[in-house]
């Protein structure tokens, strides 16, 4: 109960501050500088969770076409129609820097001074996870000079994603090298909302994050990716064997899942997010029972039914809202950083590329079963010979396509943002660029999309940053790939 109350209090503060306009990525006036790591860490973890489990979740789940905008409301047309302006969810950029990363920096500083290496490991892992997301969304980001207002740096330079990744991997290796059994190490306990202070799980988290970061580079730095992954395996690295998530949410105001809070509780209608025909058809064509866990039965009854992606204007008169399923979003849903299934799919892809020592088929099968098991379902018949999701065991390209497609299925509702990054990196699912046609098993261009058949590949730098920081790089259009998207 204490943990739930703490979540409620911290989330209330985060939701309040994220609505203010004084957040700055180089200062954080809302946290006392003398607070101890056990008081700062929970706010940092929930700050990250509020962003990736809120607006970033909406963006990822819509762009991967698990969800689409309700045709009788307007809340998410910017997401669904790719109308991405410099002010698009810019407050989340501010929240991650001024909130999460600033707090994590303090935890690292204080825990390093006291040689409390458990807190140091957790903060480093969370910091790397957060910077990685920002580098994947924007390409170049404030990094080395970020959050250094105390040194008089109020206009930090931006640095490229490769440098950010290389630096983060070095930081993670440094944190792993610390003595977690030293007498100065304290138990984070309930101040750690993800693993309850289990440092063995945090080591697994770091290894899994490193695996993901290496795989993200396979198209632009294959040699480094292979060397890094081979080093993980030669060092007998353990990867996550459970979900890494913030749990403990309750169906109470300001204590519930961030997406539920902002979409279902705080808006004037709880019916903004509908099922997308793209993913509904994929599940129905494969007889996949996960469909009933991801979408609600339409108000008019009958089977789960989706609507075409972005079909919120010209065809809206032909659509009856009562016949279209809402996306299932619960107040008590966890916010996931990794799932066990994602950990296994990452290992499967590494093996399929010839990295490390794993068996791609076995890992793929385990990952698919883990995704079904997440919903209390048995997926054995789907991976059996002749089953809808049987591993093809063909060429490397064919095998990777199967892995990424099934990973796409597993990330629905769970972590759509990571599924979008995988799509950009691998090209799977394929893209249908015509708004007038529907192609099964592909991402279909939104019916009312505003970008002439093109899908976005990055976000624009926020207006607030551009106006305040002379070192922001020249704005690139949303179709310019980020550094690893090649």
pLDDT digits (tens, 9 = 90+) for 368-398: 999 999 999 999 999 999 999 999 989 999 9
Could you tell me if 106 and 33 are in contact, meaning their C-beta atoms sit under 8 angstroms apart?
Answer: yes
pLDDT digits (tens, 9 = 90+) for 422-454: 999 999 999 999 999 999 999 999 999 999 999
CATH 1.25.40.390 fits 2-251+334-468, yes or no: yes
What is the chain's alpha carbon radius of gyration, rounded to the nearest angstrom? 22
Output the CA torsion sign for 23, 29, 31, 34: positive
Model pLDDT, residue 228: 98
Model pLDDT, residue 137: 98
pLDDT at 68 over 70: yes
- Which pLDDT band holds residue 314 (cuts at 50, 70, 90)? low
Average pLDDT value for residue range 331-349: 98
Mean pLDDT, the chain, whole residue set: 93
Could you tell me if 254 and 305 are in contact, meaning their C-beta atoms sit under 8 angstroms apart?
Answer: no
358-373 b/e (C-beta count within 10 Å ≥ 16 → b): bebbebbbbbbbbbbe
pLDDT digits (tens, 9 = 90+) for 20-41: 333 345 444 444 457 999 999 9
Report the run of H or E that residue 213 belongs to, with start and end. Answer: helix 199-215
Q: Is 115 left (phi over 0), alpha (psi -120 to 50) or beta?
A: left
Average pLDDT value for residue range 60-76: 94
Average pLDDT value for residue range 245-269: 94
C-alpha triplet 249, 250, 253: angle, nearest 5° = 110
Residues in the chain: 486
d(CA 468, CA 292): 47
DSSP state of 35: -
Q: Coil, strand or helix: which one is 307?
A: strand
pLDDT digits (tens, 9 = 90+) for 150-180: 999 999 999 999 999 999 999 999 999 999 9
The tally of CA atoms less than 13 A away on the side-chain side of residue 220 is 14
Could you tell me if 478 and 459 are in contact, meaning their C-beta atoms sit under 8 angstroms apart?
Answer: yes
Model pLDDT, residue 13: 45
Model pLDDT, residue 17: 38
Average pLDDT value for residue range 79-94: 95
The tally of CA atoms less than 13 A away on the side-chain side of residue 124 is 28
- Which pLDDT band holds residue 72 (cuts at 50, 70, 90)? confident
Cβ partners under 8 Å of residue 308, min gap 6: 68, 276, 277, 315, 438, 444, 447
pLDDT at 274 over 90: yes
Model pLDDT, residue 1: 43
Could you tell me if 257 and 335 are in contact, meaning their C-beta atoms sit under 8 angstroms apart?
Answer: yes
- Which pLDDT band holds residue 82 (cuts at 50, 70, 90)? very high
d(CA 401, CA 385): 18
């Amino acid at each position: 109960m204490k943990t739930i109350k703490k979540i409620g209090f911290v989330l209330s503060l985060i939701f309040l501050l994220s609505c203010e306009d004084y957040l700055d990525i180089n200062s954080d006036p809302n946290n006392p500088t003398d607070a101890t790591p056990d008081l700062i860490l929970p706010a940092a973890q929930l700050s990250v969770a509020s962003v990736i489990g809120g607006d970033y979740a909406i963006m990822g789940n819509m762009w991967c076409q698990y969800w689409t905008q309700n045709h009788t409301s307007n809340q998410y047309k910017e997401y669904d129609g790719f109308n991405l302006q410099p002010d698009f969810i810019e407050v989340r950029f501010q929240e991650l820097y001024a909130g999460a990363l600033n707090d994590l920096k303090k935890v690292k500083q204080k825990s390093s001074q006291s040689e409390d290496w458990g807190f140091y490991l957790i903060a480093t892992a969370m910091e790397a996870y957060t910077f990685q997301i920002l580098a994947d969304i924007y390409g170049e980001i404030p990094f080395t000079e970020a959050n250094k207002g105390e040194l008089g740096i109020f206009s930090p330079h931006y640095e490229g994603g490769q440098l950010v990744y290389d630096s983060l991997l070095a930081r993670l290796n440094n944190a792993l090298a610390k003595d977690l059994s030293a007498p100065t190490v304290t138990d984070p306990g309930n101040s750690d909302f993800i693993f309850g202070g289990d440092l063995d799980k945090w080591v697994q988290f770091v290894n899994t994050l490193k695996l993901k970061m290496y795989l993200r580079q396979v198209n632009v730095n294959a040699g480094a990716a292979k060397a890094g992954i081979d080093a993980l395996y030669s060092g007998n690295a353990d990867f996550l064997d459970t979900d890494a998530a913030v749990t403990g949410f309750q169906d109470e105001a300001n204590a519930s899942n961030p997406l539920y809070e902002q979409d279902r509780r705080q808006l004037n209608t709880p019916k903004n997010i509908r099922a997308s025909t793209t993913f509904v058809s994929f599940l129905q064509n494969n007889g996949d029972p996960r469909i009933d866990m991801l979408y609600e039965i339409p108000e008019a009854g009958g089977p789960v039914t989706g609507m075409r992606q972005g079909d919120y204007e010209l065809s809206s008169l032909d659509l009856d809202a009562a016949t279209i399923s809402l996306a299932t979003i619960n107040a008590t849903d966890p916010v996931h950083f990794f799932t066990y299934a994602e950990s296994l799919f990452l290992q499967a892809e590494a093996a399929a590329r010839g990295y490390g020592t794993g068996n791609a088929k076995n890992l793929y099968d385990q990952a698919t079963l883990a995704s079904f098991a997440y919903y209390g379902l048995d997926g054995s018949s789907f991976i059996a010979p002749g089953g809808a999701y049987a591993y093809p065991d063909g060429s490397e390209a064919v095998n990777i396509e199967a892995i990424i497609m099934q990973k796409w299925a597993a990330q629905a509702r769970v972590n759509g943002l990571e599924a979008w990054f995988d799509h950009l990196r691998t090209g799977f699912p394929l893209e249908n660029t015509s708004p007038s046609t529907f192609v099964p098993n592909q991402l279909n261009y939104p019916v009312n999309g505003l970008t002439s058949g093109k899908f976005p590949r990055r976000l624009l730098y926020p207006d607030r940053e551009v106006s305040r920081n002379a070192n922001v790089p020249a704005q690139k259009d949303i179709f310019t790939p980020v550094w690893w998207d090649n």
